A and B are shown apart, each in its own frame.
Chain A
Amino acid sequence: MILTQQLILGVLVGGLYGLAAAGLSLTFGVLRVLNVAHGELLMLGGYGTFWLFALWQIDPFLSLLGVGPALFVLGLVLYWMLFQFVVKAHEEARIKNSLLIGFGLTLVFHTLAIRLWTADERAVTTDYAGAVVKIGVFTVPLVRLSSLVLAFAILTALHLFLAKARWGRAIRATAEDWEAAALMGIPVGRTYLLAFALGTALAGIAGGLVSVSYSISPSIGIEWTLKALIVVVLAGLGSLFGSFAGGILLGLAEATSVVFLGGPYREVVGLVLFLIVLLVRPQGLFGDRG
């Protein structure tokens, strides 16, 4: 009973894990760049949603229409200023440098957030914040359910974009073989830019959903970067829905551990799973590439 209730909550948070991971998976899969500041971008998106609500009472779900594009632009800027220099190197150096750049960005954004908004926890509490949906004897918080549905919808939209649109296919082609993509007349630099900005926007939207479904503070950056990394490793690269499923899996694993091991070890379960999969099956459970 308690387990099922916890599992439901686990699925709800897992959807957001998956959304966060999808953005990271996109940038890692296409640019072969590991932006460890991904969680910080999520945090920024969360604060964007929070302040839009706190200052102008804009409904958080609605404000995503602003937060998403805003983070998209931030992604453009970050790529233009920093990451475009990283992609010029070959793979090993690329990953190393992107790790370092991401690390530097993490520090900058983290301390900037603390300076601007203090280290206090914030949450967006709307009128409907406490509403729940009752399924039998279990309660499902409406806000979290909506977030899950929205996350899934966004991933579906992105999937369609990648499958059908000219630039979406260009992204997939570049991810698979950038030289062959260049031979198709695809401007590789611009494709990287697009993929990176999209990944950043996804992080921002996930952050917005986190601010309304849970709470945010400057320190959630590193937390969510790790979550996204865990899911990316669990699920592998190459599939958005794989990331989503991986996120749900992580949520379920955490929920199970909370019931049997207690709250304090919740994070550890994810990390242990993460290490096991890293060592045993680095290409992930659903992925097609390492």
Chain B
Amino acid sequence: MLAAGFAGFPLVTARNDLLNLGIQIFLAVALAESWNLLGGYAGQITLGHAAFFGLGALVTRTLWVGGAPLSVALAAGALVATAFGVLIGGPAFRLRGAYFAIGTLGLAEILRITVGNLMPEISTIPVTALASYDLVPRYYLTLALAMFSVAVVAVLVRSRVGLGMQAVREDEAAAEASGVGAFRHKLLALVLSTALAGLAGGAFAYYHVSYYPQHAFSPAWTFDAVLIAFIGGVGTVHGPVLGALFYVIAKEVLAVQLVEVHLLIFGVLFLLVVLLLPGGLVEAWSRARRLITRNS
């Protein structure tokens, strides 16, 4: 129902600022859901998510600016991101907990610095494409991507594979002992997660007029994903959606007043969520509903 409302939106208004806001929300949803898949459902906290977002952006941008059709560019971006994920998945999953997290962070940083060194110039959409630049298709693309990522997670949650992932999250040794192949499930989560992240990166590359290639590898994207997933409700289907709405809109509101203050507030909120309300906004919402129904 929400999606339908969003879909109908551009028909009602042509206000660019609102369309931009929508695109940012949808990108955030996709990014957060992709992280949520690996970090929230499979329980593998990764701090290197930006690597896959960046790879998707890099490949898509290069191909699309070079003349390839958008669909090909997007697919290639997702493919490269996934391939990289599979490549590192084997060795990466030998690390546990903390080491996995910082290992992935280290990897993302290596990529960022290398890309920054090899491609220091800003990447701009060629003038010809700029003339026909239109927000509306980008709006629908990102909307579709957001819906797709939510759908993937929703389907996964109910499936046997998804339950296996959650078993691994709760207690890997126990899951392994009861026949759930931990490595297989973690790898699958990684593949799906990186594919979605790569697509999100590709959409980002399609959307932004100009940016520095290394910017897409910045740890800020990982942080955004983690923040949104947790504040919204990590390990739930709709948590990242709520979180993305809240995050992007609050960011817009606060950005008017002070630079970067939104991160301060979100940082504190994040801490509160981790300590007091692990279910995030989703949990707050369901608790509020129960309170209301009990009192009515």
Q: Which residues of A line the B interface, CB within 8 A?
A: 34, 36, 82, 85, 92, 95-97, 99-101, 103-108, 110-112, 114-115, 222, 226, 229-230, 233, 264-265, 267-268, 271-272, 274-275, 278-279, 282
Contact = CB atoms under 8 A, between A and B. Distances in A.
Interface in B138-188: none
A96 B45 contact: yes
Nearest to A279: B91
A278 B103 contact: yes
Contacts of B102: 34, 36, 229, 233
Interface in B105-127: 105-107, 109-110, 113-114, 116-117
A282 B95 contact: yes
B264 A226 contact: no
Range of interface residues on B (Cβ < 8 Å)? 35 or more
A114 B258 CA distance: 11
A82 B95 contact: no
B226 A275 contact: no
A275 B103 contact: yes
Given A82-B271, A105-B271, A265-B117, A226 B106 contact: yes
B274 A34 contact: no
Contacts, number: 104
A101 B267 contact: no
A99 B39 CA distance: 12
Contacts of B114: 265, 268
Contacts of A82: 271, 275
B261 interface: yes
Nearest to B226: A103
List of 6 A-B pairs having minimum Cβ-Cβ separation, nearest first: A107-B267, A108-B267, A104-B271, A111-B264, A104-B270, A95-B97
Nearest to B106: A271
Given A96-B45, A278-B103, A111 B261 contact: yes
A226 B260 CA distance: 23
Contact of A101 (B103, B113, B274): B274
Most chain A CB neighbours (cut-off 10 Å) among B102, B263, B264? B102
Contact of A104 (B47, B101, B274): B274
Contact of A108 (B47, B226, B264, B274): B264
B117 A279 contact: no
A272 B106 CA distance: 8
Nearest to B109: A271
Nearest to A99: B101
B92 to A, nearest CB: 9
30 contacts: A34-B101, A36-B102, A82-B271, A85-B275, A92-B96, A92-B97, A96-B43, A96-B45, A100-B230, A101-B271, A101-B275, A104-B267, A104-B270, A107-B223, A107-B227, A107-B270, A111-B263, A115-B261, A226-B105, A264-B116, A264-B117, A265-B113, A268-B110, A268-B113, A271-B106, A271-B113, A275-B107, A275-B110, A278-B106, A279-B95
